[in-house]
Structure 1
Amino acid sequence: MTATHRIRVGGVHAYDIVIAPGAHAQLSDAQWPIKAKQLLLVSDTNVAPIYAATVQAQLQSAGYEVSLHVIEAGEQSKNLASFESVIQSLAAMGARRDACIVALGGGVVGDLAGFAAACWMRGIHFVQLPTSLLAMVDSSVGGKTGIDIPAGKNLLGAFHFPRAVVIDPEVLTTLPLRERAAGFAEVIKYGALGDAGFFTWLESQASALCALEPIATARAIAACCQMKADIVEADPFERGKRALLNFGHTFGHAIEAAQAFGGLNHGEAVAIGMCCAAKLSESLFGAPVQDRQRLERLLAQFALPTRIPAELDPAKLLAHMRLDKKADRNGLRFIVWDGIGQARIAEGIADADVLEAMKAD
């Protein structure tokens, strides 16, 4: 058993995901699949003070010209103003079409930097160096980029695939406990939507994973990345099976938007969203109650919430869902399940059923 893994995301936009302890401190030795000499390193005020100097030095020692752009940490920075600030940095450095953006941070940094890369001169390369567990197993893989606007989460964005994803699990030790837990919501999601065996393994390894035991942590990250790689390769632009990765997200995104992206974080909101989706599946499709209870117990082991906060109005959450990207002319679309590891798409769900699924037991 090893803590180092390499996963290939195939297809037209092929790239590698490298998972290796200490990887961010060895970038000068990496075979970067880019020809650019101009790099814009984008990070945030939480990550940059810890890691930016080391990463910048590694890249400069490899012969790159590196400029640094730092945004305020937090979901509130994933907005038009921050997007414009990254664009201004690209302009200030005279970035050419062969320049590259390197995203050093969590999902906010990766989504924002990737969207800027998609837009600058109609698209330049970018590389993901995710520093949060949530970004490692989800947002850094698959090419979804974007920013939030007051009307909803990720409503401005583009598919723009990275040239490489380099994951260093050692950086997780500096994450606040709440942010670690948020990432495990997405890890659990993979078992819930498509791999019952992985879900059972997570139940058995919860203590080791909470302690960030290296072998177990690397295995969990690799399993999630492999599952996402397989799905993205088959459906790169979310026209079918890739939508399953949104299990819990329609409810979760509504919770985030209703709190103006300043309350529960993404992983916490998705944890609640998965429980709501499981409850919806019970009432409409006869999914086992016991499987929802297993899901709730596993989420609780990682200190994740399972109920919508009492102060949130379900009717207002429903209004946010109608703006969700997964809604279409047939009405609301949800990822439901027939039990652990058996997710599927359900369309045309009635408002009354959605509101019922959001009620506390």
Structure 2
Amino acid sequence: FLYSAFQYSIEQDREADEDPTGTSHKNKYYSGNKQILYMYCIILSDYVKRDIDEPLVLYSALQRFFGYYANLMNKVIILLPEKQREIHLNQLYNPGDLNSASSEYRSDILMTLFKTELFADLYRWELTIDASKPFLLAEDKFIMLFDKQIDGTPQLALIRNPSELDHFNELIMEKLEDARCVTFNSDSIQEYLDRETAEEEKLEIDKKIKVLLSTTQAGYEPDHERDQVADFYGNLLEGGTSIYMSADSIASFLFKAEVIVPDLLTLDLELNDRINYLKRIRDYVESVKHASVHVINTPLNSLSLLLDGDLSLISLVHPFSQKVKYHIFSSSLIGPELENACVVSDINVSDYIDRQISQAQLHH
């Protein structure tokens, strides 16, 4: 790995001397799992540190959840830099390939999603694309083209020549014109709800998102606080929906008074008010028999809804932009992940809230 890194650095210096504009940069080729992994890490690490004050925009057809390349890239460990830069990652995938790819390899989808959001602002796009020949485009920087040789050996082509890069960029932008975005943030979620087909489709997930968006500030109208909690959770649970709250979101709400996911949306509340609000959540869960409300151990402040229908939702707060993100997933895809996280976490909601409240009171 170090040899590859030194060699890459030396070649970069030589190219900078011989061709400062980059117009004559030659394509580079690598083959084999190990060399591809090495160069993927080295090249991305290099460009992540360049022009750090500018957003780095990525378009990737490398599958992160399923298939051969997900298995390969799952070996990569991402170390967050001290100064985090703005990275936008557009993940492109063909939903029709998921069944065949999942038989080859399936990652921990939930953890992969959260870990990706830790270093990049992730947006997922559904479109028709050849999953066997993925790519990674860094806008105005480079494109990595992945393929396999006749004997199945993976190979990687690195293209940085501006004219070729422009060509690939145009092709990808054309593809995106017919793509369907399934990730939204607090700025774009209303546009999704107002889409032309919304009235005709009458999706259950749209109703749940509207419930999340209608959340009032915790502590507002004190005389009706208990009713507000009951109405909010009752509306979310309606129709057989299960709620999964991250343990971190409850702790952040209680100890830091952060603005987090809609179920605990708050601004400048005193500790006693935050404690009272959590108590009302606890009391509601205890009062409703078999209420499907769970606390799970996952990174980031998040709230996930597993619906009885085809689509479900993972909402989270992006650590860099501090905007609420909404990821729409197939229920059959994300359902087993959420249920497994619940089993592994093994957290009783009421007990967990009580413990957090006790710690907060102890340290106040």
The TM-score range, normalised by the shorter chain, is under 0.3
TM-score normalized by the length of structure 2: 0.23
TM-score normalized by the length of structure 1: 0.23
